[in-house]
């Protein structure tokens, strides 16, 4: 089963946390979560924690949770600031999926 995609763009801020939570849960209900990089430049700690919780929930449900390889630098930087570098292991790093093209 292919996980549902969630595109991360620009700076993901604390004010995005509720929306991100709802979108992540919807992806999990559809069978998994794939975080795609669509120009992600920064992610603040609140939304990062939401995504880590979604990744943990995916693991508990035995669902896929993927992270676009091009987003790993931003994720690693944010995780390092929180001393959570090992948390990247919650995600399967992928490089073959792309963000949908805007129309």
- pLDDT, one tens digit per residue, over 39-76 is 999 999 999 999 999 999 999 999 999 999 888 889 99
Neighbour order of strands in the sheet with 33-43: 4-12, 33-43, 65-68, 92-94
Domain range list for the chain: 4-94
Pick 66 or 1 by higher pLDDT. Answer: 66
The answer to whether 2 and 30 have CB atoms below 8 angstroms apart is no
User: Which CATH architecture fits 4-94?
Assistant: 2-Layer Sandwich (3.30)
Q: Cβ–Cβ contacts within 10 Å for residue 66, how many?
A: 21
| Percentage of the chain exceeding pLDDT 70 | 91
Dist CA 48 CA 75 (whole Å): 8
């Amino acid at each position: 089963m292919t996980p549902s995609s969630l595109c991360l763009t620009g700076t993901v801020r604390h004010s995005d946390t509720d929306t991100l939570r709802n979108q992540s849960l919807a992806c999990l209900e559809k069978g998994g979560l794939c975080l795609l990089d669509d120009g992600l430049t920064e992610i603040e700690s609140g939304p990062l924690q939401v995504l880590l919780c979604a990744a943990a929930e995916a693991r508990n449900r035995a669902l896929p949770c993927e992270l676009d390889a091009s987003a790993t630098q931003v994720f690693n930087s944010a995780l390092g600031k929180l001393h959570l570098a090992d948390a990247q292991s919650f995600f399967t790093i992928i490089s073959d999926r792309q963000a949908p093209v805007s129309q």
